[in-house]
């Protein structure tokens, strides 16, 4: 099945003939003109680096993540960029689950050529330690609905995701200047990727008579078309990649299409930039609101940290340990309890309990906490509540209530969190009332625990 285009088997002969004859008189079945693009709407997700694109009926999601890897031997000071398309069977009945067909591989390769080989993303800035550690950017493209022209949609989704992706800043430091320190987002703003230009893919469909050319074919037209050409161009008039196989075309027609593609690309570039601007300004606003509750952000940063570093060499694991210590030092006030730090260094269990003051050590995928442990901790917490409050330096008391908010937001995102830890969060943030009536609260908590 993957040898044929996705929708070929669904069209009747009558429909095919109708599409062809309508095109001869420059009419398309959805009413567009031959060189008209469908409406593009870009939505961004909560996370940095996730974008959902809707192009008419086609829906594509692009998600960008980054992690540390060793660089390739022949390019020791460049980061890597990889595209992973996934053709989900829910998009089209002819997509197979699991194994990706030929068209998925082709789509991945076309976008890969357009982004990587045209140097759209600056890979040299992704190098941390030449020859040893670089950032590997992974773009996952998920096709949600196949309404035709997947390549263009996937390309725009990937670009939108890349432009809004932020990677944590890291620097070299430590005793010998060789250790990599990853700074959490609140300390230093996560950095965007350096994107030199935006290569936009434009798909042309050709029908039997080579004079009939359409842009952005929908899935019905794709089943009927004799050949297609995908030109990846940017608004500066550079051609980044071309993919064309099949029906023969004269040189003249190809050059015409390329010129047309450049004009279209300028339009689409503007749209993408506008959407990204809007997202960025909104994000900046949100950031200002949240600046006072750095604790919440810490949690988020830490989550990124732990997830990104999953399955990486111990090298990075070591750095994480260092990281915890550093953040603890920076956030705790001068009069840090010696016990606190010791408890931190011991392990994650106690860290979970000391949620208020040491959020960075919160591990969403931990095994959970013993009920007994919790009871014991609650008992101890009641005692140290007063000291915790004093520790929260530079924070207003009112902010603690607010901090409960972002916690919950964060919680809802991470569904893998155990119920016990969730409950812990609710209990964690203490208000003045707790200080006033410790005994009652303790009893209630104990009962609710059971």
**Residue of 169, 247, 349, 408 that binds other proteins (CB under 8 A):** 247
Q: What is the CB-side half-sphere exposure of residue 119 using CA atoms within 13 A?
A: 5
Q: DSSP code of 182?
A: E
Backbone angles phi, psi at 65, to 5 degrees: -135, 165
Q: How far is CA 409 from CA 51, 402, 403, in A?
A: 20, 11, 10
Task: Verify binding: residue 209, other proteins, rule CB under 8 A.
Answer: no
Task: Verify binding: residue 347, other proteins, rule CB under 8 A.
Answer: no
**Of 109 and 345, which CB lies nearer to other proteins in the complex structure?**
109
| 3-class secondary structure, 268 | helix
**Of 127 and 427, which CB lies nearer to other proteins in the complex structure?**
127
Task: Verify binding: residue 246, other proteins, rule CB under 8 A.
Answer: yes
Task: Verify binding: residue 444, other proteins, rule CB under 8 A.
Answer: no
Pairing verdict, β 58-69 and 50-55:
antiparallel
Identify which range of 47-55, 58-66, 247-255, 304-312 contacts other proteins by CB under 8 A.
247-255
User: Which residues have a Cβ under 8 Å from the Cβ of 422 and sit 6 or more positions away?
Assistant: 411
**Of 24 and 255, which CB lies nearer to other proteins in the complex structure?**
255
Task: Verify binding: residue 6, other proteins, rule CB under 8 A.
Answer: no
**Of 99 and 390, which CB lies nearer to other proteins in the complex structure?**
99
Task: Verify binding: residue 262, other proteins, rule CB under 8 A.
Answer: yes
> Counting beta carbons within 10 angstroms of the beta carbon of residue 163, is it exposed (0 to 12), middle (13 to 18) or buried (19 or more)?
buried
In the complex, what is the shortest distance from the CB of residue 208 to other proteins, in angstroms, rounded to a whole number? 12
**Residue of 175, 176, 245, 419 that binds other proteins (CB under 8 A):** 245
**Of 244 and 413, which CB lies nearer to other proteins in the complex structure?**
244
The DSSP result for 17-49, as a single string, is HHHHHHHHTT--TTS--TT-PPPEEEEE-SSTT
> Counting beta carbons within 10 angstroms of the beta carbon of residue 181, is it exposed (0 to 12), middle (13 to 18) or buried (19 or more)?
middle
Task: Verify binding: residue 217, other proteins, rule CB under 8 A.
Answer: no
Task: Verify binding: residue 109, other proteins, rule CB under 8 A.
Answer: yes
Site residues (vs other proteins, CB under 8 A) = 3, 102, 105-106, 108-109, 113, 117-119, 210, 227, 229, 234, 237-251, 254-255, 258-259, 262
């Amino acid at each position: 099945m993957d040898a044929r285009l996705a929708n070929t088997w669904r069209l009747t002969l009558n429909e095919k003939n109708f599409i062809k004859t309508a095109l001869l008189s420059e009419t398309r079945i959805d009413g567009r003109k031959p060189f008209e693009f469908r409406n593009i709407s870009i939505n961004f997700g909560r996370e940095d680096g996730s974008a959902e694109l809707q192009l008419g009926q086609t829906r594509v999601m692009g998600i960008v993540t980054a992690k540390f890897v060793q660089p390739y031997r022949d390019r020791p000071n460049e980061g890597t960029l990889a595209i992973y398309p996934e053709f989900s069977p829910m998009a089209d009945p002819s997509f197979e689950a699991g194994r990706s067909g030929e068209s998925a591989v082709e789509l991945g390769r076309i976008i890969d050529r357009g982004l990587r080989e045209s140097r759209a993303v600056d890979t040299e800035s992704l190098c941390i330690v030449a020859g040893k550690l670089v950032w590997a950017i992974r773009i996952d493209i998920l096709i949600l609905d196949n309404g035709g022209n997947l390549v263009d949609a996937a390309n725009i989704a990937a670009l939108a995701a890349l432009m809004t992706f932020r990677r944590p800043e890291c620097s070299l430091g430590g005793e010998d200047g060789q250790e990599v320190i990853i700074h959490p987002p609140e300390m230093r703003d996560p950095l965007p990727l350096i994107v030199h230009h935006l290569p936009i893919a434009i798909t042309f469909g050709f029908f039997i008579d080579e004079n009939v050319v359409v842009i952005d074919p929908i899935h019905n037209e794709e089943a009927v078309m004799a050949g297609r050409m995908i030109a990846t161009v940017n608004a500066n008039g550079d051609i980044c990649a071309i993919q064309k196989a099949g029906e023969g075309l004269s040189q003249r027609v190809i050059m015409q299409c390329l010129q047309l593609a450049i004009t279209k690309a300028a339009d689409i570039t503007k749209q993408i930039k506008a959407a990204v601007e809007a997202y960025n300004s909104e994000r900046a606003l949100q950031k200002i609101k949240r600046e006072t509750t750095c604790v919440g952000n810490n949690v988020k940063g830490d989550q990124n940290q732990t997830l990104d570093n999953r399955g990486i060499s111990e090298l990075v694991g070591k750095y994480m340990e260092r990281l915890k210590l550093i953040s603890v030092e920076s956030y705790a006030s001068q009069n840090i309890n010696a016990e606190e730090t010791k408890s931190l260094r011991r392990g994650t269990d106690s860290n979970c309990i000391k949620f208020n003051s040491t959020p960075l050590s919160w591990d969403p995928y931990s095994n959970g906490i013993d009920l007994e442990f919790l009871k014991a901790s609650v008992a101890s917490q009641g005692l140290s509540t007063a000291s915790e409050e004093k520790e929260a330096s530079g924070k207003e008391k009112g902010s603690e209530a607010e901090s409960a908010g972002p916690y919950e937001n964060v919680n809802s995102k991470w569904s893998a969190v155990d119920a016990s830890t969730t409950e812990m969060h609710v209990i964690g943030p203490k208000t003045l009332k707790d200080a006033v009536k410790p005994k009652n609260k303790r009893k209630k908590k104990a009962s609710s625990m059971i």
